[in-house]
Amino acid sequence: GESVGLHLPTLSVQEGDNSIINCAYSNSASDYFIWYKQESGKGPQFIIDIRSNMDKRQGQRVTVLLNKTVKHLSLQIAATQPGDSAVYFCAENGAGGTSYGKLTFGQGTILTVHP
């Protein structure tokens, strides 16, 4: 079938390095943001989320940073492991108007971790 959209950017890192994956979102009214990890042949899985009233949130080995001024989201993975190899997507949840209730995904990034 026809491919829809863009091919994904890639990031290659060595095991043990820190990884930073970036995402630009489109709707300034979005109030909730999520990072997902998608392994081959599986549906996306939740990693970490952040609300628009925060600019940083930390989880286990992961940190999400939100810059509302430039509509930018980043995911930092500390001490990256081969098991972290996957496609990473950011998603935004529309807050109002025609965007209310819509969970829209940004362009993903393919992370490859070399042993």
Quick one: 23 or 113, whose CB is closer to another protein?
A: 23
Contact 35, 44 (CB under 8 A): no
- The residues in 38-67 that bind another protein, with binding defined as CB under 8 A, are 41-46, 49
Which residues touch 37 (CB under 8 Å, ≥6 apart)?
44, 45, 47, 84, 86, 87, 88
Quick one: 54 or 79, whose CB is closer to another protein?
A: 54
Binding residues for another protein, rule: CB under 8 A, are 1-8, 32, 34, 36, 41-46, 49, 87, 89, 91, 93, 101-108, 110
